[in-house]
Structure 1
Amino acid sequence: MTEEEFTEFYRHSVRRLTGQLYVVTGDLHEAQDVVQEAFVRAWGHRRGLDRELAPEAWVRTVAGRLAISRWRRARTAARAWRRHGETPEVDGPDPASVDLARALRQLTERQRLCAALFYVCDLPVDRIAAETGLAPGTVKAHLSRARAALARQLDHPTELREHSDDLH
């Protein structure tokens, strides 16, 4: 089957196969996924599809088997979860963490990267410069700007300045 023939085959059968698998799975997204995966596999076997009497049946069979495999995996996973009991409830993030995450998103990508490497990974400026390909002075500038922006947004300037002495 040539690329053009396969494209035509796909065009004429994808909706029909998706509808058929939707009836089997009861889930449109699952049906779309398994049909697409089956077509991907058919693409790899398209030369052999020439010899098939019904390439659509081949794709339908593969899609059906994929759907059954996914169903079995989901069923096994559900059993495993039930065996381990209920999951413990986890408290959501505290308001300060939410504020910090929001403030970090306001930083530029480089400021956020430099701040994370310095404050979270506890790397010195020279190491940050080596890892990012920035000059040490540029890293210091990004850290300074990040601290200033975070201080303005979080209104806690003293907490952020504690580490500023480490820059020098």
Structure 2
Amino acid sequence: MRDAHSFDEFYRQTSTRLMRYGYAVVGDPAEAQDLVQEAYAKAWRHWRTVAAHPAPEAWVRLTLARLATDRWRRLAAWRGVLSRTGPPPPIAPPSVDTVLLTTALRRLPAAHRQAVALHYLFDMSVDDIARETGAAAGTVKSWLSRGRAALAAQLSEARDGQILEAHDV
């Protein structure tokens, strides 16, 4: 069993230094946070070995440096692909329908939104949604029914408002 207390103490003593080191290595604070987090996750998975290492902080620093090197290799490969194929085409802005649907979905209660998304985006049955959410099948049916009704009402209102605005112009 891993010793969570000793790992927590190690983390408290070294995290600031390792974050500074990560930032110095990659030059981007968000990327540094990701790499430091991944290095600590690896240290936790191998905590018995790391804790017994003569220099545990050096082990994490080496892991961090290797993760950064892997990142640079992936970026170099990506740059090679881009140089051969060119950048991807620009992505078109979302359609009016997408904006209206997204806005309407955000107004639904979380459970209704989740049920509607699972049902329509992942083609999940009521029973599958019930298993995933831990709710009864009848509850899922209610969520779907209420979610569809609320979406229909909101989209109808939004469409009516949009049509009026278009005619007013």
- Aligning the two structures, in what range does the TM-score lie when normalised by the shorter sequence? 0.5 to 0.7
Q: TM-score, normalised by structure 2?
A: 0.65
Match of 1:151 in 2: 156
Match of 1:7 in 2: 8
User: What code does the residue aligned with 1:30 have?
Assistant: E
Match of 1:160 in 2: none
State the Cα distance separating 1:47 from its structure 2 match. Answer: 1.6
State the Cα distance separating 1:145 from its structure 2 match. Answer: 5.4
Moved more, 3-12 or 105-114: 105-114
Moved more, 141-150 or 80-89: 141-150
1:95-137 superposed Cα distances (whole Å, 9 cap, x missing partner): 34433443454455648966996xx78x9xxxx77776349x9
> Structure 2 CA distance, aligned partners of 1:23 and 1:86?
29
User: What code does the residue aligned with 1:65 have?
Assistant: R
Q: Quick check: 1:67 aligned with 2:80? A: no
Q: Which runs of 5+ in 1 are unaligned?
A: 157-168
C-alpha RMSD over aligned residues: 3.6
Alpha carbons 1:100, 1:154 under 8 Å: kept = no
State the Cα distance separating 1:71 from its structure 2 match. Answer: 1.4
Structure 1: which 4+ aligned runs deviate by more than 4 Å?
111-117, 128-132, 137-146
> Structure 1 CA distance, aligned partners of 2:60 and 2:117?
51
Q: Which runs of 5+ in 2 are unaligned?
A: 130-136, 162-169
Q: 1:29 to 1:98 in 2, by over 3 A?
A: closer
> Structure 2 CA distance, aligned partners of 1:36 and 1:93?
34
> Structure 2 CA distance, aligned partners of 1:35 and 1:113?
36
Moved more, 80-89 or 20-29: 80-89
Match of 2:78 in 1: 77
State the Cα distance separating 1:91 from its structure 2 match. Answer: 3.0
Q: TM-score, normalised by structure 1?
A: 0.66
State the Cα distance separating 1:81 from its structure 2 match. Answer: 2.3
Q: How does 1:121-140 map to 2 (within 5 A)?
A: 133-134=137-138
| Alignment size in residue pairs | 149
